[in-house]
Structure formats: structure tokens, C-alpha cells
Amino acid sequence: MKIRELIVVEGRDDTAAIKRAVVADTIETGGSAINAATIRKIRLAQEKRGVIIFTDPDYQGERIRKIISREVPGCKHAFINQEEGTKKGDIGVENASPETIIRALSEVRTEMAEQAGEITAEDMVAYRLTSGADSKERRLKLGDILGIGYANAKQMLQRLNAFQISRDEFVKAMESIDRGGDQG
């Protein structure tokens, strides 16, 4: 599988894992210390070929993803969950199997400019995605089913709308969770 866009990853080991799975070029952020020169490189890549952000499923990976999204609008996003990216207690894209990487890259989502979406804060409450004993677990499952990764309640609402998840897609995913399934 050949990927046209440049894939933004955190480091060398992530690049190696990507190249084991697909034919692609990467831009490495050098970990969480993302600087202005790297942002310029990502911005140029977005203009010329497009960008897929594929960071680790942890706090630092999400932090990097947010910085890039803010500075370089319109990027695509690929996600893996923590279980898929964990080996011997270490979390990262570098630990994902080639099959997991291929799946994540085939399910990329494009973030759109912030706008009023179909999913509301009331939906988050009604579907027990916030303020409940099991809300974190429900958001984790929702992010896996929809391929948009895990986020806290506020970020999940923003992500649902930024990735233009339809009300129908959202409701089907929630019904699957309520039935005890993990797939949409």
C-alpha cells in the first residue's frame, strides 16, 4: 500500500514501523518538543501532498496532534488505541503491528474547521459519555468504533463534530456499545 500524503509521527521508531507496513514518507516531530521549523515543514507538506497525523495514543501524542491541528488546518488523522500500541508497557505507534497501521491509515478522518455539528452536549449526557461511572470506558469504545481515538468528554464532542460524524453514525456506534459490542 502506497500513501500519497506525508505521515507525521513522533520519532524514528515510528517511521520504521510505518515503513514496515506501507510505502510512505514521514515527518518526525522529534517527540513532544515540536518547534516552528517542524510546523513550517508540515505546513508545506500539507500544501504540496497532504498530511496524515499519526501520533502515539497517549497524552503527549494527543498534545502534538492538537498543536499540529491548530497550526496546520485540514490535516487527516489516523488513530490506534492504547492496546494496539502497547508492548511491554511502552505505548507508541512503533509498537503497532503492520496490520494495525494499515487499518488505521485506511480509516483516516479529515478534521474540518470548527462548526456547529449534529452531536450536542446534551447527546453526550444522554448517552452517558460524561459525568458517569462508566463514561470514560464508553468514550474509549466510541473512539475505537468511529476511528477517532480516545478523548475526554469536551474533546470528544469537539472531535465528533470536527470529523463530521453524522448523527446516524453516532447513534449506531452508541447502540453497539449498549449491546456490549465494540464494532460499528
Domain 6-110 sits in CATH at 3.40.50.140
Q: Is the pLDDT of residue 116 over 90?
A: no
Tens digits of residue pLDDT in 1-50: 999 999 999 999 999 999 999 999 999 998 777 899 999 999 999 999 99
Tens digits of residue pLDDT in 151-165: 999 999 999 998 889
pLDDT of residue 184: 47
- Map out the domains of the chain as residue ranges: 6-110, 121-178
* CA atoms of 61 and 45, how far apart (whole Å): 20
**Three-class DSSP category at 18:** helix
Type and span of the H or E element at 28: strand 26-28
Q: Name residues whose C-beta falls within 8 Å of residue 93's C-beta, 6 or more positions apart in sequence.
A: 9, 10, 14, 17, 18, 54, 55, 56, 80, 85, 101
114 or 165, greater pLDDT: 165
Task: Give backbone dihedrals phi and psi of 26, rounded to 5 degrees, phi first.
Answer: -125, 160
* For residues 113-129, average pLDDT: 84
